[in-house]
Amino acid sequence: MSSTVRLGIIGYGTQGSMYARLIAEGKVPSLSLCAVADADSSKRDRVRSEHPDVEVFDDHITMLESGEIDAVVTCVPHYLHPEHAMAALARGVHTLVEKPAGVYTQQVDEMNAFAAQHPELTFGIMFNQRNNPLYQHLKQVIDRGEIGRILRTNWIITTWWRPQAYYESSAWRATWGGEGGGVLVNQAPHQLDLWQWLCGAPKKVFAKASYGFQRDIAVEDEVTALVDFGQGTTGTFTTSTHDLLGTDRLEIVGEKGKIVVDNSRVATITRYERTEQDISASIDAASVARVFSGELDPAGFYTSETIDFTSKWGEQHAGVLENFARNIIDDTPLIAPGSDGILGVRLANAIHLSSWLGEEVEMDFDQTRYLEELNRRITEENQFAPRSTSSVDR
């Protein structure tokens, strides 16, 4: 492999055109943009205008078989991510999947299994938030045990305000058959991934989701989920697309400290001098009244620091693209292996299923039951064909 990887982009929409621009601006030095495939002739014309030296295809298979590219990124509707990824891998092309990895776990499991049969190829996913220096730092803090075992975590992420016109901009948007869901599938996959990347995967979930709550859509625009991580550790995840002001606040409470993140930029890390239980045991009966009166200053039991990381839009994406290319060139470890994409899809599916059934759902839920429930909603929409266990034509 040379020092530069030849990249093809499938789909020249918002994401695909941004990646092309980042590469053209030299922000991804290990990638060269060589080809773009899009079924829409107007988008192909845009490519020719904006990147005249790039070869343009009207079919992704033709591009994959052209010999013009070493790697590809899939910037297509969610349902197509596994199908296009496997088509690329089957032709010996390194593959970076846009988030989410897919819509339902069965298709993502199939993609992961297929990728595992091709260990010689790089398989990644565009979880660009993992490249946010703030979250990278917090993961190190947690992994080093600085706040001890996690006891509770909450994330309110409602900064996804979308007006009704947004949903009416495309026929597939905010439909079960075209998009596969609402805020969980389109806006919040990054947080669903980060939450588990930092805190571990939950074991159970009980969720309340509202469908067409504040927008004229079929899918969810408001979600509150209570998850069980096991061993008494719990968490909540709240997201929506109708909060005009929006809140982005993550709290992680450990037995030896606490992390609070605001707006995915500013974090306060508190480290206890001992575990909270040890501190509790050190307070004798005579001192309890001082706790109630406020005379006992808890600041003597901990230290705190506040860190502020800024990350411009696009820098994180460029970093993941560069990391993907470096893995191809010299085996640099991936920030986000493609197989990790199943985690967020599984949690989103479990939240949906819990809200549909009105009961707590195990994370190893019946995947067939989920697909049946999803297809029932697709059939009721009467806009798209139901999905099969395997939607792949390689």
Q: What is the CATH number of the domain that holds 186?
A: 3.30.360.10
Are 328 and 262 in the same domain? no
Are 113 and 148 in the same domain? no
The structure's pTM equals: 0.94
Are 141 and 92 in the same domain? no
Query: What is the number of domains present in the chain?
Result: 2
Please check whether residue 357 lies inside any domain of the structure. no
Please check whether residue 258 lies inside any domain of the structure. yes
Are 143 and 263 in the same domain? yes
| Section 159-184 average pLDDT | 95
* Average model confidence (pLDDT) across the chain: 95
Torsion of CA 245, 131, 143, 231, to 10 degrees: 50
Task: Name the pLDDT band for 293 (thresholds 50, 70, 90).
Answer: confident
Give the pLDDT score at 313: 60
Please check whether residue 236 lies inside any domain of the structure. yes
How far apart CA 220 and CA 217 sit, in angstroms, is 8
The predicted-structure confidence for 209-268, as pLDDT tens digits, reads as follows 999 999 999 999 999 999 999 999 999 999 999 999 999 999 999 999 999 999 999 999
Give the pLDDT score at 1: 57
Domain of 65, in residue numbers: 5-126+314-337
Residue 24: phi and psi, rounded to 5, are: -65, -30
Please check whether residue 323 lies inside any domain of the structure. yes
Give the pLDDT score at 296: 77
The predicted-structure confidence for 317-357, as pLDDT tens digits, reads as follows 999 999 999 999 999 999 999 999 999 999 999 999 999 99
Q: Among 324, 388, 368, which residue's Cα sits nearest to residue 71?
A: 324
| Section 1-11 average pLDDT | 90
| Tokens standing for residue 203 | 């074991």
High-pLDDT (> 90) share of the chain, %: 90
| Section 363-386 average pLDDT | 96
How far apart CA 235 and CA 344 sit, in angstroms, is 15
How far apart CA 150 and CA 278 sit, in angstroms, is 16
Please check whether residue 38 lies inside any domain of the structure. yes
Q: Among 6, 71, 74, 92, which residue's Cα sits nearest to residue 37?
A: 74
Are 144 and 100 in the same domain? no
Are 50 and 165 in the same domain? no
Are 298 and 150 in the same domain? yes
Are 95 and 148 in the same domain? no
Are 290 and 208 in the same domain? yes
Q: What is the CATH number of the domain that holds 26?
A: 3.40.50.720
Please check whether residue 365 lies inside any domain of the structure. no
**Amino acid at the residue 40:** D
Which of these ranges, 81-90, 167-176, 202-211, has the smallest mean pLDDT? 167-176
Q: Is the pLDDT score of 82 beyond 80?
A: yes
Beta carbons within 8 Å of 144's beta carbon, 6+ residues apart: none
Q: Is residue 57 within 8 Å of 35, Cβ to Cβ?
A: yes
Please check whether residue 162 lies inside any domain of the structure. yes
Are 192 and 281 in the same domain? yes
Please check whether residue 380 lies inside any domain of the structure. no
Q: Is the pLDDT score of 367 beyond 60?
A: yes
| Section 304-315 average pLDDT | 82
Are 189 and 155 in the same domain? yes
Q: Is the pLDDT score of 392 beyond 60?
A: no
Give the pLDDT score at 314: 60
Q: Among 178, 132, 186, 131, which residue's Cα sits nearest to residue 157?
A: 186
Are 122 and 183 in the same domain? no
